[in-house]
Structure 1
Amino acid sequence: MTTPVLHATPELVTTAWLISVVGDRVATTLPKPGADGTLSWADGGFVTHVVAGGASNIYVPMRTPVMGLSCWAANPGSQKPPWNQAATLAESIVAACLDHDNIPRRALALPGGYPSVQVKSAYTVGDPRRITDDASSYACYDIPGLVIAWTEVPS
């Protein structure tokens, strides 16, 4: 039996790129509270993402997924959502997209034997917006579209 060839996915690339921007507080789902009710991400916030669209180039091996992002912040012990913390997290992502000297980035390593990728460009298609009425009193800012153009690095 032959081992299947692994290819990078939009979720893996987005996670790796966002970790290089905001640190290790990124995933496709928000972490659940611990057994004692504590939030492991309460101090710095958290970013979740989902594929919202995009396409592959039919002539060039480049992917350009559009990712929906949510930037979360929590203030345990208070019913007042920390809006500024969530907004700051979202704006740091927007600022990274505008840091043209830093894109394209060096190759990003992906976990689990997936090939490295190079991000050619990253930009947002919409400004961060406040999402209100969260029953958990979390603060959330959404970025409706983050486009990350990337290619796999040949091994």
Structure 2
Amino acid sequence: MTTLLRATTELVAQAWLRGVLGDIVATTLPRDNASWMASGFVTVATVGGSANPYVPLRSPVVSVDCWAVHPGSNRPPWNKATSLAERVQAACWDHAATPRLLTLPANYPQARVLSAYSTYEARRVPDDAASYARINLGLSVNWVEVAS
């Protein structure tokens, strides 16, 4: 018996953001900040939204955190983190790139993002004890699972 895997909001958000930013997106920061010091990193978490009660359309809100670090410095690299957030915002306005079919990890069905837009302006999250720069924005990703 094979277990049926279903697409999830966090998988879809990660795949959509990887299409925008490359392979610097996950649900948690890597432990070794040297591995993402040059590029920055983006984490996602579902924070709200809804599923349509009549059709299989999902409309979640995802918290997107854009991170940057400069080891050995007390000054967070805000511009690098802000640049990542602005790339996400620009992708939301790229209407020619949506809808977009996404390939999820092995054994998961594909998903189609119908639209993506920011739900609140990118903002600084200050006072990180590790002197990381963290910019947060909200993203609504309207998507459907694609039957195989």
- RMSD after superposition: 0.9
Q: 1:118 is matched with which residue?
A: 112
Task: Give SS of 2:108's match.
Answer: coil
Task: Give SS of 2:63's match.
Answer: strand
Q: Deviations over 1:91-134 (max 9, x none)?
A: 100110011111111x2110020000110000011010011111
Q: 1:152 is matched with which residue?
A: 145
- The question of 1:71 aligning with 2:66 is answered yes
Structure 2 counterpart of 1:5, one-letter code: L
4+ aligned runs moved over 6 Å, structure 1: none
Deviation at 1:80, TM superposition (A): 1.2
Q: 1:3 is matched with which residue?
A: 2
Q: 2:53 is matched with which residue?
A: 58
**Aligned ranges 1:22-41 → 2 under 5 Å:** 22-33=21-32, 39-41=34-36
State the TM-score, normalizing by the size of structure 1: 0.92
Q: Deviations over 1:39-95 (max 9, x none)?
A: 200001000011100111111111111101110000122221110000000010011
State the TM-score, normalizing by the size of structure 2: 0.96
Unaligned runs of 5+ in 2: none
Identical residues among aligned pairs (%) = 53
Structure that is richer in strand per residue: 2
Deviation at 1:148, TM superposition (A): 0.4
- The question of 1:130 aligning with 2:113 is answered no
- The question of 1:84 aligning with 2:79 is answered yes
Structure 1 counterpart of 2:142, one-letter code: A
Q: 1:12 is matched with which residue?
A: 11
